[in-house]
Chain A
């Protein structure tokens, strides 16, 4: 298949153009042997299907930085290059444009956010820019679709650009001369968005606003999540449960199979939360409990990302994170981890050093409970008022903080300083947000669902062979004494390895006291990653690093459980 590749700086609306050209359904791919992801889709041109690739956003094409090298390779493999350029920031964007010109591939330039630039008093002589570069330049407003048709038609006119001088040391002078010839700036009164940009990055008002925004985001996630759960619960109870109830009696003659599929009968009936069968609990927990929160979470996060708010939070919090030996951008994987630890850990890829990635991933798996788990913490403790919930979150935060400081000193390695552009605020584009939500959900279902099935299958097999009661019989008297929780509860905490959210659900019928519930919830969050997180940690960092993380988790859970049991 012939290839078109979209290349541009970060935050220039490349993915919006990608979505406009391909539709919502894209495939995320990984460049073999690297941690660099990009999107792939197809477009129809003159009765021929072309592959459209959204290359990683880069500022240049050097061979030392992985993402840049891969973008370079994608350009080498492409038949047509579409260089997406932010009209509001032409000068900086042209650096990459010149590097693309050096490649000599048939190219067109998409001058995006054209309307924005005009409003900011930036005028660009498009005909002259096109003449100087030697390739078609198409003004587009990707979010409204303006110019997309023209861009698509201009693919036919893609030609190799005029050669540029290979002298990189004088490249900015060359770009300066071009800018002089094609761009004219005039003064425009600052607009509301400019004012908002200033206020939200201001050290005092910015922090205050960040607090309000993050709190608002959480309330929104909860609201949407609960709403969706309500809807789904209804569906499960009205349609799915009766179906299971009707199927179950057919398996009376093969009890072991019935046990694996439907799980244990609770008061003579299949129970979606407690039966632990593959098609009862195994379907209900990921779809009925976890998914609604994850949908809500990624929707709100996608919105914050596309507006351009996250870099500001990263900048505001960088001073704080830096004291912990971390980077302001740690906030992004950490926030993602609040949805589900798996994408959170994957997102540590945005951090530059391997050391930092490992530290942040460990911190996420130890101190950041996922949405599904939080939902059950709130469900289990909510009726006792606000303070038990606060104790759970507070403890986890303190543990997170302590380990951040400890790891800063224990794990040597270079920690690069923050360097980021602060993009202006933009109105979000619904189609792009839904496309991203869809990609993330599909990723979650692919990563998490098979593991839940396998996990429940494993639990059922081990349960049938009395393995767990054996193990917990040996260690639980000991653990129960330090943590002050009943021995049966220890069994479920061990099962928490498979799905933490489910383990919380299973603790409920045991009739624990508030204190015991608090301790159980904290331990459950800390002491082991869930199976999905375990697998991702292994894949991203290898056995040695995973074992280090596990030691940290088990040791601190034991200690913290004991401390809580003593002081509460």
Chain B
């Protein structure tokens, strides 16, 4: 098992990981930050919608959906 850094769309459904960073300008990481998606947080990918739709993850006791564009800027460390 090694640690690999992937983006949210690259995670497999059901896989768990730790957020290590969010790329983007000022406003965007903040939007995730106030929702409780911050570096160090454990997340689990639930799945993604068809046709390039949003990625659904569970994060703490909540479920979040992120559009592809946003999701591909969230870096997650997973064990593979």
Contact = CB atoms under 8 A, between A and B. Distances in A.
A203 B48 CA distance: 7
Interface stretch (A76-84, A286-294, A320-328, A507-515): A320-328
A198 B14 CA distance: 12
A311 B33 CA distance: 20
Contacts, number: 106
Contact of A89 (B27, B50, B61, B66): B61
A421 B66 CA distance: 9
Interface in A55-111: 59-60, 62, 64, 88-92, 95
B68 to A, nearest CB: 7
A204 interface: yes
Contacts of A206: 49
Contacts of A315: 49, 53-54, 56, 65
Given A95-B36, A203-B48, A319-B53, A417 B66 contact: yes
Contact of B34 (A59, A120, A201, A202): A59
A506 B33 CA distance: 56
Contact of B66 (A92, A95, A311, A419): A419
Contacts of B35: 59, 92, 419, 421
B60 A418 contact: no
A197 B61 CA distance: 14
B34 A422 contact: no
B62 A319 contact: no
Interface in A322-354: 322-323, 328
Contacts of A328: 53-54, 67
Given A95-B34, A172-B38, A323 B52 contact: yes
A418 B54 contact: yes
Contacts of B62: 89, 92, 421-422
Nearest to B48: A203
Give the contact-size bracket for chain B.
Answer: 20 to 34
Given A203-B47, A417-B67, A422 B56 contact: yes
A424 B64 CA distance: 11
A500 B46 CA distance: 46
Contact of B51 (A90, A197, A202, A319): A319
Interface in B8-42: 27, 30-36, 38, 40-41
A420 interface: yes
Contacts of B30: 62
Contacts of A201: 46-47, 56, 63
Contacts of A202: 47
B49 A318 contact: yes
B29 to A, nearest CB: 12
B70 interface: yes
Contact of A319 (B27, B54, B61): B54
Contacts of A182: none
A178 interface: no
Nearest to B61: A89
Contacts of A317: 53
B34 to A, nearest CB: 4
Contacts of B65: 311, 315, 318, 418-422
22 contacts: A59-B34, A64-B27, A89-B61, A91-B60, A92-B62, A95-B34, A122-B61, A185-B61, A197-B63, A201-B63, A203-B48, A203-B50, A311-B65, A322-B52, A322-B67, A328-B53, A417-B69, A417-B70, A419-B67, A420-B64, A421-B65, A422-B64
Closest 9 CB pairs of A and B: A319-B53, A417-B67, A319-B51, A418-B67, A417-B69, A60-B34, A92-B36, A59-B34, A422-B63
Given A201-B63, A315-B54, 20 more contacts: A59-B35, A62-B34, A89-B60, A89-B62, A95-B34, A95-B36, A197-B63, A198-B46, A203-B50, A315-B56, A318-B54, A320-B53, A322-B52, A323-B52, A417-B69, A418-B54, A418-B70, A419-B32, A422-B62, A422-B65
